[in-house]
């Protein structure tokens, strides 16, 4: 914006000079010789008076424009006076002494750094042109070579150290990151690097790199580091590793399915076993109660038998007949009868009468037996 102001003032001066020059050319003085006309020279006195003021105004604008500066929210400003740091500014509008104080703005947002490949607008890690062998090729603890790509995220934590502790802080960061990565990868087997150990490796590298940056004090801190890709350096070996990885995934799937089936079947089997146990316990309790009841009835019958053996035997006989005969099909014959008549048809007709007769007969027999025993 300052450039446009200076340009506008310069155009204004040029227009003023051109205007007075034209006015001077229009004034013509008549001479005695009628054949000749002489033009009067333009009067530049006013222009000579204006030029110093214009120069002063331009100088004031330049000084005022250079003394005011702003710092955005994503920046920090380091103010120096004669090479000495005097202040660190955050977001806002500030004033500085022109030609004496200088301000260096530092971007404090998160930046990214590719390790093992080069970044581009259309980044493809698998592209041979973006592959950096010197950074990506590493050796593992079982002496296998592996290509590993990382993406490092960092930001400026201390703008003063970032500006003055190192000539190129990003180069120092890349060097420390490579050292931390190689010293970590060398402790793992190739299978762990390619398959299951990525998270652990990333955490270990971040911890090492954070300690290195703290010790070197270059004003940078690590936000995150992620392993983008890890594979063998040749296509044949890569295909073999992918086949092994596919087999491992198939094995994990089979184990997970087996565990799922186990988790489904074991609770059902346990519930069925509990039901069987409860049913058995209930049957056990029922049989024990029934046996105890039969034992008590036997003891009571035995006590009666000791007092009245004949009557007790008769009663037991009749009670047995009462429980057996209703369920049996009885046919009475003398052995020579040609036509057999079942007893059921007669018993249905004489059921009420027979019951009372049988009861009276039983009572009478008991009284006769009691009297016989008394005698």
The tens place of each residue's pLDDT in the chain, 375 residues long, gives: 455 555 656 666 666 666 666 655 555 444 444 444 444 455 556 556 666 766 777 776 766 666 788 899 999 999 999 889 899 999 888 888 877 888 999 999 999 999 998 876 544 545 555 788 888 889 899 888 888 999 999 999 999 999 999 999 999 999 999 999 999 999 999 888 988 889 999 999 999 999 999 999 999 999 999 998 888 877 666 677 777 778 888 888 999 999 999 998 999 898 999 999 999 999 999 999 999 998 988 888 888 888 888 888 888 888 888 887 777 776 666 666 666 556 555 555 555 444 444 444 444 445 554 544 444
Cα–Cα distance measured from residue 240 to residue 191, given in angstroms and rounded to the nearest whole number: 12
Cα–Cα distance measured from residue 166 to residue 255, given in angstroms and rounded to the nearest whole number: 54
Neighbours of 309 (CB within 10 A): 11
pLDDT at 32: 47
pLDDT at 133: 84
Q: What's the longest Cα–Cα distance across the chain?
A: 203
Cα–Cα distance measured from residue 201 to residue 141, given in angstroms and rounded to the nearest whole number: 13
* Sign of torsion over alpha carbons 201, 207, 212, 218: positive
pLDDT at 181: 95
Task: Indicate the pTM of the whole model.
Answer: 0.52
Domain boundaries, the chain: 2-69, 72-107, 111-233, 242-307, 323-374
Q: How far apart are the first and last CA of the chain?
A: 149
Topology of 111-233 in CATH?
Answer: Tetrahydropterin Synthase; Chain A (3.30.479)
pLDDT at 143: 85
pLDDT at 243: 79
Structure tokens at 362: 């039983």
Cα–Cα distance measured from residue 242 to residue 253, given in angstroms and rounded to the nearest whole number: 16
Cα–Cα distance measured from residue 135 to residue 333, given in angstroms and rounded to the nearest whole number: 116
pLDDT at 28: 43
């Amino acid at each position: 914006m300052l450039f446009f102001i200076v340009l506008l003032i310069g155009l204004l001066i040029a227009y003023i000079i051109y205007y007075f020059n034209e006015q001077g050319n229009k004034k013509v003085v008549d001479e005695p010789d009628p054949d000749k006309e002489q033009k009067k020279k333009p009067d530049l006195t006013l222009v000579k008076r204006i030029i110093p003021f214009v120069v002063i105004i331009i100088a004031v604008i330049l000084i005022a424009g250079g003394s005011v500066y702003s710092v955005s929210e994503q920046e920090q400003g380091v103010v120096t006076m004669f090479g000495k740091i005097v202040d660190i500014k955050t977001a806002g509008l500030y004033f500085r002494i022109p030609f004496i104080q200088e301000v260096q703005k530092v971007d404090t947002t998160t930046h990214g750094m590719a390790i093992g490949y080069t970044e581009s607008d259309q980044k493809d890690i698998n592209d041979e042109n973006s592959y950096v062998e010197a950074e990506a090729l590493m050796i593992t603890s079982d002496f296998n070579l592996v290509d590993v790509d990382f993406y490092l995220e960092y930001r400026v934590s201390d703008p003063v150290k970032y500006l003055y502790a190192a000539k190129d802080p990003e180069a120092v960061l890349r060097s420390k990151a490579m050292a931390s990565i190689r010293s970590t990868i060398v402790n793992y087997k190739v299978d762990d690097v390619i398959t299951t150990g990525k998270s652990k490796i990333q955490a270990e590298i971040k911890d090492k790199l954070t300690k290195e940056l703290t010790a070197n004090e270059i004003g940078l801190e690590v936000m995150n580091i992620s392993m983008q890709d890890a594979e063998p350096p040749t296509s044949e070996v890569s295909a073999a590793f992918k086949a092994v990885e596919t087999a491992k995934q198939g094995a994990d799937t089979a184990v997970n399915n087996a565990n799922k089936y186990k988790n489904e079947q074991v609770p059902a089997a346990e519930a069925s076993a509990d039901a069987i146990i409860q049913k058995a316990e209930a049957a056990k309790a029922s049989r024990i109660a029934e046996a105890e009841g039969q034992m008590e009835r036997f003891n009571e019958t035995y006590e009666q038998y000791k007092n009245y053996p004949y009557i007790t035997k008769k009663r037991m006989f009749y009670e047995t007949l009462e429980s057996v005969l209703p369920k049996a099909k009885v046919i009475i014959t003398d052995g020579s009868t040609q036509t057999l008549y079942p007893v059921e048809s007669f018993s249905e007709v004489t059921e009420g009468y027979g019951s009372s007769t049988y009861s009276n007969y039983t009572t009478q027999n008991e009284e006769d037996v009691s009297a016989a025993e008394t005698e």
